[in-house]
Amino acid sequence: MFFGKKKKEKKQYYFDYAAATPIDDEVLSLLFSHLGTNFANPGALHGAGVESKKILQESRTVISGLISSRSDEIVFTSGGTESDVLALKGVVDKVLLNKNLKEKPHLIVSAIEHSAIFDTAKKLKDSGLIELSILSVDNSGRVDIDNLKNLIKESTVFISVMYVNNEIGVIQDIPSISKEIRRLKKKIHGDRSAVYPVFHTDASQAVGSLPVGVLSLGIDLMSFNSGKIYGPKGVGALFVKRKTPISSVFYSSGQEFGLRPGTEPVALIAGFAKAMQVSEKHKDKEFLRQKENRKYFLKELENISMEPSLNSLDLSYKINQTEDYTVPHIVHLSFKGLESDQLVIELDSRNIFVSAKSACKTLDPQTSHVLQSIGYKDNSWGSVRFSFGRNTNKDDIDFAIAALKEVLIKLLHTKKEFNL
Express each pLDDT in 215-225 by its tens digit. Answer: 999 999 999 99
Bridge-based pairing of strands 106-110 and 74-77 is unpaired
Q: How confident is the model at residue 258 (pLDDT cuts 50, 70, 90)?
A: confident
Q: Which residues is 190 bridged to in the sheet? A: none
Is the predicted pLDDT of residue 379 greater than 80, yes or no?
no
The arithmetic mean of pLDDT across residues 334-347, rounded, is 95
Cα–Cα distance measured from residue 385 to residue 340, given in angstroms and rounded to the nearest whole number: 10
Q: What is the pLDDT of residue 377?
A: 81
pLDDT in tens, 42-52: 999 999 999 99
DSSP state of 141: S
- 353: how many CB neighbours lie within 10 A of its CB? 17
Cα–Cα distance measured from residue 47 to residue 51, given in angstroms and rounded to the nearest whole number: 6
Q: Which of 177-191, 218-232, 353-367, 388-402 has the lowest mean pLDDT?
A: 353-367
Is-contact 333 384, C-beta < 8 A? yes
Active-site option among 129, 360, 402, 409:
360
Q: What is the pLDDT of residue 253?
A: 67
Q: How confident is the model at residue 174 (pLDDT cuts 50, 70, 90)?
A: very high
Query: Which of 308, 298, 314, 331 lies closest to 411, judged by CA?
Result: 314
Non-local (6+) Cβ contacts of 21 within 8 A are 227, 228, 229, 230, 231, 389, 390
Non-local (6+) Cβ contacts of 45 within 8 A are none
Q: In 55-135, where do the E strands start and end?
A: 74-77, 106-110, 131-135
- 299: how many CB neighbours lie within 10 A of its CB? 11
* pLDDT, the chain, mean: 92
More confident residue, 289 or 103: 289
Question: What is the pTM for the complete model shown?
Answer: 0.93
Q: In 25-130, where do the E strands start and end?
A: 74-77, 106-110
Q: Which of 108-122, 152-166, 304-318, 349-363 has the lowest mean pLDDT?
A: 349-363
Domain 25-278, architecture per CATH: 3-Layer(aba) Sandwich (3.40)
Non-local (6+) Cβ contacts of 100 within 8 A are none
Q: Which residues is 332 bridged to in the sheet? A: 385
Q: Which amino acid is residue 21, in one-letter code?
A: T
Q: How confident is the model at residue 359 (pLDDT cuts 50, 70, 90)?
A: very low
Per the annotation, the verdict on 370 as an active-site residue is: no
pLDDT in tens, 304-331: 999 998 988 889 999 999 888 999 999 9
Cα–Cα distance measured from residue 88 to residue 69, given in angstroms and rounded to the nearest whole number: 20
Is-contact 216 195, C-beta < 8 A? no
pLDDT in tens, 77-93: 999 999 999 999 999 99
Question: Positive or negative CA dihedral for 229, 120, 385, 325?
Answer: negative
pLDDT in tens, 197-247: 999 999 999 999 999 999 999 999 999 999 999 999 999 999 999 999 999
Kindly list the strands in the beta sheet with 156-160, ordered across the sheet, starting from the edge strand earlier in the chain. Answer: 74-77, 236-240, 221-225, 198-202, 156-160, 106-110, 131-135
More confident residue, 1 or 409: 409
Domain boundaries, the chain: 25-278, 283-417
Cα–Cα distance measured from residue 213 to residue 217, given in angstroms and rounded to the nearest whole number: 6
Q: What is the pLDDT of residue 101?
A: 74
Cα–Cα distance measured from residue 389 to residue 203, given in angstroms and rounded to the nearest whole number: 17
Is the predicted pLDDT of residue 94 greater than 60, yes or no?
yes
**Angle, nearest 10°, between helix axes 340-348 and 394-417?**
130
283-417 in CATH: which number? Answer: 3.90.1150.10
